[in-house]
Structure formats: C-alpha cells, structure tokens
Amino acid sequence: MRAARRWVTSAVGAVALALAVTGCGTVHGTATTMPSTMPARVSAAATLGPDGTVPWVDEPATEADFTTAVRPAPATGPTCRASQLDATLPRWIHKSTGGEVNDPVMEASMYGYAVLTNTSHTACRLDGLPKVRLAAGGVPLDLIQGGSRNDGPAVGLPPGGKANFRLDWDAPFCPASHGPYTLDADLPGAGDVAVRLTDPSVPGCARDDTHPDLASSLTPGPIAAGDGQPRPPVVSPLRNLTARATHLPARVHPGRSVDFDVTLSNPTGTAVSLAGRPGFTLEVTCTGTNGRQGLSDGFKEYLLNNRPVTRVPAHGSVRFAIRAAVPEASSFPGPQLSLTWRMITRGLPAGLPYLVLTLPTGA
C-alpha cells in the first residue's frame, strides 16, 4: 500500500534519471492504427489512492495480451500440384531497410517473399525447401545457390489459401546482360511453378575488398504459412504521451522491491484512451565491477492498472504506482542499479514512452 512506503524524497536529486521517448525510423508503406479492442483483464478494484495515484497491481501479462496469433490452416489433403498454384513475388526489399544493414554488400542485397496461392477448389498442402532458377532474357544466370534448413511444418492451403517462401538475392550482382528476369521454383512434390516478378529491381554491383571474389547468390527459405509480406508499422495514440518518474528511493537493496511512480502526461488537445490492455515491461540489471559477476532480473511484462482511469485527459496527466522486484543477493556487484520501464500495448507499436532509471546501490 502507498501509505506503507518509506520514501526519501530529499535524496531524489542524487538519483540519475534518463528519460527518452522512442522515435520512428523510416516507414515504408502506410502506417496502420490498431485500436485496443480487447476487454480489460486487470483484476483490481477500480479505486484510486487518497492522493489520486492509481494503485500498483501485480498483474503479469502474457504474449496473448499484446499480439494477435493467426492460427494457420490445418495441413490436410494431398500435396499441391503445380497446376493448382499461382505464384508471384510482388516486391524486392533492399537490406538497407528494416535494420538488416551490415556492410556495403549487404546494403546492395535484397530479399522478397514468393507468394503461393491455391487457385483450385480443393485443399492441399506444401512443405520442404524449394529449388529456384533465375534467368535473364531466357538465359539462366550463373548464381551461387545458397542453402537453408527446412525446419518448418507442412502448410495447409484451403481454396484461396496462401503460403510463401523467402528468397534472398545477395550482391554483388554485376550482370553481363540485363532482363527481363524470370524466376522458376521447383516445389517439393508439386513440381515446377513459374513465379511472376512484378518488381524489376536487382542487387547492386557492390564488392567487398576483404572478399574480392564474392559472387551473387540466390537462397530460398522453407515454405511457410501466409503471404509473408511485411506489415505496415502499427501506430498507437499512446505515442503522444510522455513519462516521468517520481518518488524514487535514495538507495536500493538486494531482495527488496523498488517502489516509484510513473506519471503519464498528455501534451495534446485530445484525450488518449487507456482502454483495452495497455501494459509495460520492467528490466532490472546491475553491472558487475572489480571482476564481480553482474545480476539481472530479466525482462518481465505487466498489465497497466487501467480500471480506475481509462484515459489521460487532454493537457492532463495520470500517475501510476509501480513496483519492481530486485533479485536476492548478498550484496550488489556494482554501485548502480539500472531499471528500465517501457510502455507496450496491442500490436507492439514503436514510439511509446519509456524510462531508464539509474539508482545507487551503496556498493
């Protein structure tokens, strides 16, 4: 209970607090807004503390609270025949997008997803690792055929159902002749399927000085359920909020929880809803010094207590009591404990507020 807390507010100035609100990188495609339509699951009573603070509730969250798992169709029926399938690779994605950049050769490389659609009226199934052939102007290209593990289950395709396989086309690609390019895939048990290429992009002719003999390669992945296409990022109105920590303890102790408040403020002229299942993560770590092994309490997910307050009013704020467990230890291995609080919600959108707190241990 809040009345039982023992705060040392005069020492807050000795606590280093780093506050940041995540930004957004380059967005490819149209962003989507995912409303939190799931009913609240917090079991606490809808009451506030005497000072208006939303009480702490120890309500662990599960993956199902924040993600939508799509159950694939059962793998029934015989293996699909090539005549039942329509195949297309709608676009190539350069590895300079999506955080896959490693070096200039990687930046010049591409990947895409070949989508296989069952156009028949009969359910069928696919599995295994395709073999692919790429040609330019009808002449097969001399590309290194990369390997990949086949560790996926059989995929069911009801009438109209879709499967996919990822295809990596890596640089350097320095062709003597240019397209049009055609792609054929030999699907295990189904036979050869012509894959339509609607994107004329090709990898760049980037070479690595460390490996000057590096050649272009084509690597298919195993067949998987769905169309495989990257989804537009989810945008949540919660990204308009800012976070601030108060009532921090002067010192933390092994095995004792850290109690503090997080105030969510809304600087906009529109109220931000907290309905559904918003939550947060807590991570507690202490880096070891003088050869001592560090400690960590891992990464834990909780539901935010939104029973008493279902929105943050325009130009207003709401204060939440938070409690973070600290691992048991005879002593801390270092002089500082790092505590990260990060807001999450359905669809796991980027850009939500987070706090990184650095608290003295006295070690």
Identify the CATH number of the domain in which residue 217 sits: 2.60.40
Q: Is the pLDDT of residue 223 over 90?
A: yes
User: Over the stretch 238-276, which tens digit does the pLDDT of each residue have?
Assistant: 999 999 999 999 999 888 899 999 999 999 999 999 988
User: Over the stretch 80-125, which tens digit does the pLDDT of each residue have?
Assistant: 999 999 999 999 998 875 444 456 777 888 999 999 999 999 999 9
End-to-end CA distance of the chain: 28
Query: 313 with 335, same domain?
Result: yes
User: Residues in the chain, how many?
Assistant: 363
Choosing from 225, 254, 274, the residue where a domain stops is: 225
What's the mean pLDDT in 14-39? Answer: 37
In a domain, 76, yes or no: no
pLDDT value for 62: 82
Q: Is the pLDDT of residue 198 over 80?
A: yes
* Domain containing residue 355: 2-68+234-360
Choosing from 225, 245, 263, the residue where a domain stops is: 225
Beta-strand runs (E) in 208-335: 217-220, 224-225, 234-235, 242-246, 258-265, 272-273, 279-286, 295-303, 311-312, 317-324
Query: 218 with 239, same domain?
Result: no
In a domain, 153, yes or no: yes
Residue 77: HSE in the Cβ half-sphere, 13 Å Cα cutoff = 21
Query: 93 with 220, same domain?
Result: yes
pLDDT value for 310: 93
291 Cβ neighbours under 8 A, 6+ residues apart: none
How many folded domains does the chain comprise? 2
In the structure, what pLDDT confidence band is assigned to residue 179 with cuts at 50, 70 and 90?
confident
Which of the pair, 305 or 208, is modelled with greater confidence? Answer: 305
In a domain, 73, yes or no: no
Find the CATH number of the domain harbouring 312: 2.60.40.10
In the structure, what pLDDT confidence band is assigned to residue 2 with cuts at 50, 70 and 90?
very low
In the structure, what pLDDT confidence band is assigned to residue 130 with cuts at 50, 70 and 90?
very high
Q: What is the DSSP letter of 98?
A: T
Q: Are 319 and 242 in contact, with CB atoms under 8 Å apart?
A: no
In a domain, 77, yes or no: no
Choosing from 194, 225, 256, the residue where a domain stops is: 225
Mean pLDDT score of the chain:
81
pLDDT value for 234: 76
pLDDT value for 42: 67
In a domain, 337, yes or no: yes
pTM of the model: 0.57
Which of the pair, 197 or 172, is modelled with greater confidence? Answer: 197
- Cα separation, 114 vs 141, in Å, equals 19
